[in-house]
Structure formats: structure tokens, C-alpha cells
Copies of this chain bind each other. A is one copy, B any other.
């Protein structure tokens, strides 16, 4: 079932995807060879190009049929890559997409500056849309993401993180960028306020579902599927919804055991497996799945007002796939 959905999406986006890949390469344009190397290391390591595809089809669902959607869509992949580079430095992550993280290969300062460069490239392309509202969306994304990341850093290791605080963190960390891509597509298509708002909401709920699915995969997927070891969030002291919900519902004894397992200095695979059992037992997994499904349902509902078209079908399928995916 899942493979069928994935296959169907891939077939539908293939022609655009090819153009997106070319645009990503052609628009990088660094003057300094080292910048190209560092940026390419991450950019061309098998990203799904979800954000560009969302912008393209958010524009098309609003009737946009000009060719510039492709080049403008890469704004959101550059932005995404910029934040990943900064986040990996901030989190001191070792791997990304199964490869060494950039700051392990090069030193952190160069990676930070390459992130700045990618942000600037995104901006430069955005300025060519001649749509100040798109710039404003990008500015808000960057403000939200940088502050969200600082907030998350500040809350690292906080064992009593509330569901509300978690929602705020993942909104800033993931949803605002996906939301921004969808909204910008509508702005590019010069859509009505209603349509812009609807795609903004679609993007928000999709982003929330997407991150919750990611947080589930961090517990449930294998190292091979993830391209990094599972349980990374926990080891970094980041509490996500499966854990937050389970901690809140655990017996006193199990809560203490779980807290010890989370804060343990050493990673013991058996202990991690036992922790996963608790997440099932106290329904943290189930609860997170349910929440993610709710977001998918809401995301799709915001597409109701649009006429049937290929892009609408695709946006619906992407919403479904966001929580069915295995990577």
C-alpha cells in the first residue's frame, strides 16, 4: 500500500523533479570553490525535494501555468539546506542522510558560512519574484526557525517538556518552512486571500504531521532506513511526543526508569528496546500516530475549496504519504 503511494507520487513528480535538480545545480553559483563543495555535499545527497514540489503544486493548484515555478521553488530547498547545515553544527550531529555531516568533513565555521551563503542565494532568487510578500514569508521563516532552534537548545534535557512546548518547537523547526513553501506558491500565482490562507493552513498541518512522523521514525525505524542511529533525539536530550505522552501516563516507577534511560550517558541497545516497549505500553506511539493523522486530515480538508486537478491529487497524496513513509 505505502509502496504503491510512494511509487505513484514519484511518477507524478518525475518530470518536475528533473527540472528542480537542474535548477538546484545551475543556481548555486558560488565564486569560491570551497563553498560549492560544502554546499553540494549536503544539497546533492538524496533529498526528497519536498519543499520545492510543494511550492510548485501550490502555485499550480491556484492556476499558475508559467515556467518560473521551478526556479522559484528551489528557494525552499536552499533555505532547507541552510538550516540543516546550521542545525547540524548546533546539534553536533555526526551524520546526515547516511553521510558524514558537513562540519565533520570541514570545520564548523566554514559550514556556518556556507549556510549563510545558501540563505543569501535563496534570498537572491526570491528577490527576482518581484513579490515582496514572498520575501516577507522567507524572513518570517528564518526568524521563526532561528528562534525555535535557540529555544530548543535552551530546553534540551528538560524532562517535563509539555505537549504544548513540543508543538511550538516542531512548528518553528519544521512546519513554518513547509507552510512558507505552500503559501509562497499561492502568492506567486497571485491567488485570492482565501486560497493563500488555505494553502498556508495545509502547509502548517502537513508540516506538523511530517515532523511527528519523523519523531516516530527516530524510535521505530532502523539505522539503515534513517541514515543515522535511531534514538538520536533522546540521546541529544530532545523529548518528542511519543516520550512526552508516555512519561505523562507512566506509573511512578516506570517514569523514573524512563527518565534514567533517557539521561543515561551510555547508549545500550537493550535499554533502548525496553524504552520502546514502554512507549507502546503507555500509548505514546499510538497517541503520536493519532495526532499526526489528525493533522493530515486537517491538511487535506483545507484543499476542499480547490477544483480537482493533478496538483490537488498530488498534494493530497503527499499529505497521506507524510505519515506512511518509512524514511
Contact = CB atoms under 8 A, between A and B. Distances in A.
Given A132-B127, A146-B114, A109 B153 contact: yes
A42 to B, nearest CB: 15
A90 B119 contact: no
Nearest to A38: B150
A32 B147 contact: yes
A39 to B, nearest CB: 11
A110 interface: yes
A263 to B, nearest CB: 20
Given A34-B150, A150-B110, A150-B113, A120 B143 contact: yes
By size class, the interface of chain A is: 35 or more
Interface string A100-138: 000000001110111011011101101111111101101
Nearest to A107: B153
Interface string A130-160: 1111011011111101110111011000000
B116 A89 contact: no
Contact of A146 (B113, B124, B147, B153): B113
B151 A32 contact: yes
B124 A139 contact: yes
Contact of A149 (B113, B132, B142, B147): B113
- Kindly report how many copies of this chain are found in the complex they form together: 2
Nearest to A147: B32
A129 B136 CA distance: 11
A112 B147 CA distance: 11
Contacts of A128: 132, 136
Given A128-B132, A147-B30, A142 B113 contact: no
Chain A, interface SS category: helix
Contacts of A141: 120
Contacts of A145: 116
Contacts of A131: 132
Contacts of A139: 120-121, 123-124, 126-127
Contacts of A120: 139-143, 146
A28 to B, nearest CB: 11
A89 B130 CA distance: 34
A115 to B, nearest CB: 8
A135 B126 contact: yes
Contacts of A136: 124, 127-128
A88 to B, nearest CB: 10
Contacts of A112: 86, 89-90, 112
Given A35-B147, A129-B132, 10 more contacts: A32-B147, A86-B112, A86-B113, A90-B112, A117-B143, A117-B147, A119-B119, A124-B143, A126-B139, A131-B132
4 closest cross-chain pairs (CB), A and B: A120-B142, A124-B139, A116-B146, A123-B139
Interface of A: 30-32, 34-35, 86, 89-90, 108-110, 112-114, 116-117, 119-121, 123-124, 126-133, 135-136, 138-143, 145-147, 149-151, 153-154
